[in-house]
């Protein structure tokens, strides 16, 4: 997971605080957040002290920064201790008056909202953005909200906010969009952890007539009854879905379609994603209906299509029906499963996918450059789908993946490292290869790797039963992550192995231990850091 409540964002977000007029302190200047916003002028900052505030807030056209002390300190503890609770009365925070990107919500826990409304203006449980309202929503925990119709966490209607570095979890979207629902909106959705949300359709996200940019998110353990456990892209939506991990989502109900992504009458671009461990009755990894997505450099593995009888369980990796014509290049379909037919790909007689330079298990698919050879993932049991390289021993052996230097020759690997591409002549196949087209001549991608060791505060905290611990590694190292009780006794070892450079996360299921204060310690080479967390049952 690449969710970091880091200090790097402060330079951007502090600009309004440092350059413009007034800081309004809550509760010193006004007893409620709403009163502070009502008293603010554009570019003011409403700075909120740690506490629980039972409010339903409307920005009412004020282009104001609303922030916890995280904004000024960079300490993520303020995200957990500064809570805006909607008290199940209505949406927690509403933008509906054309607020622009100088309106911001930074560093809160946003919970217990309840959204209602009527089509198309469905209110979110957590944050609602309507009618050309385009705020920045950053570094928040949006948890435990519910919408009667659509948008458990965030609802966008004719708006394009920036949604970045949030933990959006355990929200319920009613009919559509457990975490995020977009209608005729084009938000930037980046670097979020979207986990454990539910809706009838679009457990993680529901997109209708929208073209958001969805980049570098972790979309895990979301669920729906019908379409799109992770993402449902429908009704002429054309999102860019790039560089995400889409894992362990499910579409489990009657005719559940698209465990990871369901593409329904839309044309998304899907690039450099790992799509694994998802479950659906049809199209566990990706499902297409009346659509023509462009899919490049994805790794689609370990997904399961299953159902209660012989009419279910089609397309473990890809389900392609009803005149769908995807273009699929440089992608891996491996170790997927289907109870009835098409463990890697199921294509009906009306559909005509164009598949080139792909590695597909047990099938030498017609098309230029396709292969069917074990891709030699580095450590798939632990979720590492990078390619092995014997030539570069730092990247893990004992062999060279046949997917290295095996992709479309019109692409090269823009980034050469153990965590990205390894091919020097042309693109690798899979999620970590590829880059800019040689014909396009666009600048190279910037490498997104940590520059230092860091152990994040777990979230949620305090927690009941389970919590997520995140950390970052600037170099390959032997890593150990351990849990201790108040007496200094070790109660769990979550990680004890060599890991590659990057952003990591681990779920600790504490259902078997008693309530109390616990410590978690990360050790990696000469680096060691300890934080504390509270389990409340």
Which tokens is 363 given?
């099938």
Please give the backbone phi and psi of residue 11, each rounded to the nearest 5 degrees, phi first: -60, -40
Which tokens is 219 given?
């979309």
pLDDT (0 to 100) of residue 435: 67
377-379 and 384-387 beta bridge pairing: antiparallel
The C-alpha atoms of residue 83 and residue 145 are separated, in whole angstroms, by: 13
- Do residues 235 and 212 lie in contact, with contact meaning Cβ atoms separated by under 8 Å? no
Which tokens is 425 given?
């002549």
SS (H, E, C) 413-474: CCCECCCCECCCCCCCCCCCCCCCECCCCCCCCCCCCCCCCEECCCECCCECCEEEEEEEEC
Which tokens is 356 given?
């080139």
pTM above threshold 0.85:
no
Q: Is 513 helix (H, G, I), strand (E, B) or coil?
A: coil
The C-alpha atoms of residue 298 and residue 360 are separated, in whole angstroms, by: 12
Q: What does each of the 537 residues of the chain score in pLDDT, given as a tens digit?
A: 223 333 334 434 444 444 446 999 999 999 999 999 999 999 999 999 999 999 999 999 999 999 999 999 888 889 889 999 999 999 999 999 999 999 999 999 999 999 998 888 899 999 999 999 999 999 999 999 999 999 999 999 999 999 999 989 999 999 999 999 999 999 999 989 899 999 999 999 999 999 999 999 989 999 999 999 999 999 999 999 999 999 999 999 878 999 999 999 999 999 999 999 999 999 999 999 999 999 999 999 999 999 887 889 999 999 999 999 999 999 999 999 999 999 999 999 999 999 999 999 998 999 999 999 999 998 887 778 999 988 776 777 778 899 999 999 888 887 788 778 888 889 999 999 986 433 333 333 334 556 567 788 887 788 888 888 888 887 778 899 999 998 889 999 999 888 877 778 788 889 889 999 999 999 988 788 888 999 988
Exposure on the CB side of residue 318, measured as CA atoms within 13 A: 27
Name the class of domain 454-535.
mainly beta
- Do residues 332 and 429 lie in contact, with contact meaning Cβ atoms separated by under 8 Å? yes
384-427 pLDDT, tens digit per residue, is 899 998 877 677 777 889 999 999 988 888 778 877 888 888 99
E-state strands within 165-255: 167-169, 180-183, 188-190, 193-195, 198-199, 205-208, 213-215, 218-220, 223-224, 231-234, 240-242, 245-247, 250-251
What is 291-341 written as a DSSP string? ---EEES-EEES-EE--SSTT--B-SSEEEESS---EEES-EEES-EESSB
């Amino acid at each position: 997971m690449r969710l970091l409540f880091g200090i790097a964002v402060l330079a951007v977000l502090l600009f309004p605080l440092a350059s413009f007029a007034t800081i309004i302190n809550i509760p010193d200047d006004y007893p409620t957040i709403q009163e502070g916003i009502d008293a603010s002028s554009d570019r003011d900052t409403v700075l909120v002290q740690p506490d629980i505030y039972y409010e339903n807030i409307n920005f009412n056209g004020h282009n104001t920064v609303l922030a916890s002390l995280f904004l000024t300190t960079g300490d993520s503890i303020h995200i957990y201790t500064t809570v805006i609770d909607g008290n199940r009365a209505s949406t927690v925070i509403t933008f509906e008056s054309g607020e622009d990107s100088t309106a911001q919500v930074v560093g809160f826990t946003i919970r217990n909202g309840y959204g209602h409304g009527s089509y198309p203006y469905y209110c979110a449980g957590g944050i609602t953005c309507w009618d050309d309202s385009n705020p920045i929503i950053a570094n928040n925990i949006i948890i435990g909200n519910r919408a009667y119709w659509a948008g458990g966490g965030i609802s966008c209607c004719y708006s394009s906010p920036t949604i970045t570095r949030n933990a959006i979890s355990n929200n319920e979207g009613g009919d559509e969009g457990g975490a995020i629902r977009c209608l005729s909106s084009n938000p930037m959705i980046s670097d979020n952890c979207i986990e454990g949300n539910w809706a009838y359709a679009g457990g993680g996200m529901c997109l209708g007539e929208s073209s958001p940019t969805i980049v570098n998110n972790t979309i895990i353990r979301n669920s729906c009854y019908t379409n799109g456990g992770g993402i449902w892209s429908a009704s002429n939506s054309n999102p860019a879905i790039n560089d995400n991990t889409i894992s362990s989502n499910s579409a489990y109900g009657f005719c559940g379609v698209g465990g990871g992504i369901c593409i329904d009458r839309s044309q998304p671009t899907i690039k450099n994603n790992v799509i694994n461990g998802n479950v659906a009755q049809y199209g566990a990894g990706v499902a297409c209906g009346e659509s023509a997505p462009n899919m490049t450099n994805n790794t689609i593995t370990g997904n399961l299509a299953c159902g209660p009888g012989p009419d279910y369980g089609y397309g473990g990796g890809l389900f392609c029906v009803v005149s769908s014509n995807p273009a699929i290049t440089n992608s891996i379909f491996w170790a997927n499963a289907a109870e009835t037919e098409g463990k890697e790909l199921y294509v009906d007689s009306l559909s005509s996918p164009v598949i080139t330079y792909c590695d597909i298990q047990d099938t030498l698919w017609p098309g230029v450059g396709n292969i069917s050879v074990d891709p030699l993932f580095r450590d798939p049991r632990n979720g590492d789908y990078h390619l092995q390289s014997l030539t570069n021993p730092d990247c893990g052996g004992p062999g060279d993946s046949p997917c290295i230097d095996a992709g479309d020759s019109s692409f090269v690997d823009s980034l050469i490292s153990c965590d990205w591409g390894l091919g020097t002549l042309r693109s690798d196949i899979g999620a970590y290869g590829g880059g800019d087209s040689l014909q396009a001549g666009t600048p190279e991608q910037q490498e997104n790797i940590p520059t230092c060791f860091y152990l994040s505060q777990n979230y949620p905290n305090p927690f009941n039963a389970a919590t997520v611990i995140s950390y970052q590694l600037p170099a390959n190292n032997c890593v150990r992550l351990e849990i201790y009780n108040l007496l200094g006794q070790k109660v769990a070892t979550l990680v004890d192995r060599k890991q590659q450079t990057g952003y990591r996360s681990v779920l600790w299921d504490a259902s078997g231990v008693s309530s109390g204060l616990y410590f978690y310690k990360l050790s990696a080479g000469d680096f060691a850091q300890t934080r504390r967390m509270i389990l409340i049952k």
